[in-house]
Amino acid sequence: MEITAFKAFLIALVYYLGNSSWLFGVGYYTLYRPLVAGLIVGIILGDPVQGTIIGATINLMYVGFISAGGALPGDPALAGTLGTALAISSGLEPEAALALAVPLGLLGTLIWFGRMTLNSFFVHWVDKRAEEGDARGVSLLNMIPAQVFLFIISFIPVFLAVLYGPQAVESAIAFLGENVLSALMVVGGMMPALGIAMNLRAIFKGDNRAYFFLGFFLSIYLKLDVIGIAIFGAIAAFIHMTFKKDILESESNV
């Protein structure tokens, strides 16, 4: 599949908006996730079903994803956006797309650390304007320089990769042959297990394990679907947090 410059522009824009603050943080919870990014990329490329399947497959690897203290183990947005685009354009199966998305996610950490490093310099500019009492300067410096730099290091590389990457991927597939591609699909098929294992590791800490087994038995014995279990889980979480808050308040008053 040949990707036009306009489609490459839209896909790169999806990745940029997923990392930027222009959408008031909504992009982080939507476009930053491979499932959503895969769907949108699929719509742009005219195959939303395959885009969703590939995005969901990549998303499994990031089920237990967490970024703490500025550390980023991988970039799910780049893996989902660019990985889905290259997979659809090259005709890859979801498993092979997942194997392709892994190094892309690791490559995205370079963008993240480069962004965080340079943004630290912008903070000093803001401090200087704050000392001068320049409120407008503080506001502009908090938005414009960081977003311009983010656009340069995120939009432009993804635009070029989407525009010229499919040919490179197709050439690499032809060079490696079916055996190597099959091996990549096997490796890719194991990646979701890693994401699920990371999620289970978090679940089995503290009191969370009881809710895991509760959801399991609701599915097995009451035959509830995922939506029903999710609604039940949300109610249980609300009750749990309410009682926990009351207990903490009572202990603090003792």
Q: Where are the domains of the chain?
A: 5-191, 206-252
Q: What is the dihedral of CA 127, 132, 137, 138, to 10 degrees?
A: 30
pTM, entire model:
0.73
How many other C-beta atoms are found inside a 10 Å radius of the C-beta of residue 22?
13
Give the number of residues written for the chain. Answer: 254
- Burial (Cβ within 10 Å: 0-12, 13-18, ≥19) of residue 96: buried
Per the listing, tokens 């500019």 go with: 125
CA separation (Å) from 217 to 88, 198, 213?
A: 38, 21, 6
pLDDT of residue 246: 72
Q: Which amino acid is at 13?
A: L
* 65, 32 contact by CB (below 8 A): no
14: tokens are 């999806």
- pLDDT digit string (tens) for the chain, length 254 residues: 778 999 999 999 999 999 888 888 788 889 999 999 999 999 999 999 999 999 998 888 887 676 665 566 778 899 899 999 999 988 888 877 887 887 888 888 888 888 888 888 888 888 888 888 888 888 888 888 888 999 999 999 899 989 888 777 666 656 666 666 666 666 666 666 666 676 677 777 766 778 888 888 888 888 888 888 889 888 888 888 888 777 777 766 65
* 61, 78 contact by CB (below 8 A): no
DSSP secondary structure letters along 54-80:
HHHHHHHHTTT----TT--S--HHHHH
d(CA 11, CA 38): 10
